[in-house]
Amino acid sequence: MAEFTLELNDDQKQVRDWLHGFAADVIRPAASEWDEREETPWPVIQEAAKVGIYSLDFYAQQFFDPTGLGIPMAMEELFWGDAGIALSIVGTGLAAVGVLANGTEEQIGTWIPQMYGDANDVKVAAFCSSEPDAGSDVASMRTRAVYDQAKDEWVLNGTKTWATNGGIANVHVVVAVVDAEVGSKGHASFIVPPDTPGLSQGQKFKKHGIRASHTAEVVLEDVRVPGHCLLGGKEKLDQRLARAHERAASGDGERVKNAAMATFEASRPAVGAMAVGTARAAYEVALDYAKTRTQFGRPIIDNQGVAFQLADMRTQIDAARLLVWRASWMAAAGKPFESAEGSMSKLYASETAKKVTAQAIQILGGNGFTREYPVERMHRDAAIYTIFEGTSEIQRLVIARTLSGMPIR
């Protein structure tokens, strides 16, 4: 019988400990400053690049870990350090996943290296899907891409919002409508190369949490990109659109994944791992505080009201990690999410992060409500996990539809 284990192998443990050391020694000391500044922490990203964490090679090694645990392990450790800075370090990954999920081998080899730059000249990338009127409702997307056959160029017009690294990125990956008649099936992804005329940064958002991560609108005004910047190529797109029209004409309700959904489906367990890292960080602060804080002559952890909260927090964190690991292993093994396991992992982990960070503040009492202690920042950061890359409500909808086979609304 094949051996079953949940233990990381020696190589994975070595990487985990290396990442944990970077998070403890470099990310955490800088966390409060960059949260207050609400600016991209370029010096920290540069340090990550120098040691090899912010690089295509590192993420490729973790992505191709045959167990599937490389990426979630990395995300948990970095976000244990600080969510805002960690998102600045890993935010480029969403654009890279967009290319990996939809691009050709040539596009992958051409564009992903340009997203990262090198240790001496770091770059970032942005994945642009959400719009002012099209967040969870991707079918309402208004950004259009029109093909100019004479010049073999695509012309993009529209406004994207909530784009991590939007406007400051070297490479933007933009999801746009190419055929409105087939709804979300008529979407495609495009590379917008560096310094392309017509792309500009709109409003930069001042956020509740993850404030060290740059989030902004991206405005596209007659942005022209070469035909080879269509991810997957035009032949593949034309075939997909033809199938979508055939199904629409025949009344076949078979679902076809669009470019944005393929990216989010691949990244949901990783977002769950981010949430686990933030929750674990808050739990550890609360546990240490409860052991050292004395009231009425004894540590507050001696009180069941506090001890039971910590027991629940740890249990929920471990359960969330197991859901993330299961989904990540399934993805690496090529097993389909027949019960929406990817959405399950993000849903439970993100809700756990919100709950655990709130409990950590409660255990610290008045101190937890101040910026002298990090749990206040962690609680603000945790709020995003139930919102971006599919809200908790959308995750429940995906799970319910998958389990029932019904078009639940």
Residues 388 and 268 both lie in one domain: yes
In a domain, 2, yes or no: no
In a domain, 226, yes or no: yes
Query: Model confidence over 221-233: pLDDT tens digits?
Result: 999 999 999 999 9
- Running DSSP on this structure, what letter comes out for residue 23? I
Residue 87 is encoded by which pair of tokens?
């998102």
In a domain, 3, yes or no: no
Q: Which of 122, 145, 163 is the last residue of a domain?
A: 122
- Supply the CATH number for residue 243's domain: 2.40.110.10
Query: Model confidence over 5-45: pLDDT tens digits?
Result: 899 999 999 999 999 999 999 999 999 999 999 999 999 99
Phi and psi of 207, rounded to 5°? Answer: -110, 160
Residues 62 and 163 both lie in one domain: no
Q: 């078979």: which residue's tokens?
A: 254
Longest dimension (CA), the chain: 82
Residues 264 and 396 both lie in one domain: yes
Residues 314 and 395 both lie in one domain: yes
In a domain, 152, yes or no: yes
Query: Model confidence over 281-329: pLDDT tens digits?
Result: 999 999 999 999 999 999 999 999 999 999 999 999 999 999 999 999 9
Residue 271 is encoded by which pair of tokens?
């977002």
- Catalytic, out of 36, 254, 389, 393: 389
Residues 386 and 268 both lie in one domain: yes
Q: Which of 250, 285, 319 is the last residue of a domain?
A: 250
Residues 170 and 243 both lie in one domain: yes
In a domain, 5, yes or no: no
Give the gyration radius of the chain's Cα atoms. 22
Instruction: Identify the bridge partners of residue 153 per DSSP, sorted by sequence position.
Output: 148, 226
Residue 305 is encoded by which pair of tokens?
């009201």
DSSP string, 295-340: ETTEEGGGSHHHHHHHHHHHHHHHHHHHHHHHHHHHHHTT---TT-
Query: Model confidence over 238-275: pLDDT tens digits?
Result: 999 999 998 888 766 444 455 555 556 667 999 999 99
Alpha-carbon distance 102 to 189, whole Å? 8
Residues 139 and 116 both lie in one domain: no
In a domain, 389, yes or no: yes
Residues 342 and 390 both lie in one domain: yes
With 0-12 CB in 10 A as exposed, 13-18 as middle and 19+ as buried, what is 409?
Answer: exposed
Mean of the pLDDT values across residues 65-72? 96
Measuring CA to CA, which residue among 193, 190, 199 is closest to residue 234? 190
Give the pLDDT of residue 1. Answer: 45
Residue 373, domain extent: 259-404
Residues 358 and 234 both lie in one domain: no
Residues 26 and 58 both lie in one domain: yes
Q: Mean of the per-residue pLDDT values for the chain?
A: 94
Residues 136 and 99 both lie in one domain: no
Instruction: Examine the residue annotation and report whether 389 is marked as an active-site residue of this protein.
Output: yes
Percent of the chain with pLDDT over 90: 87
Residues 19 and 107 both lie in one domain: yes
Alpha-carbon distance 47 to 228, whole Å? 34
In a domain, 4, yes or no: no
Q: State the total domains in the chain.
A: 3
In a domain, 382, yes or no: yes
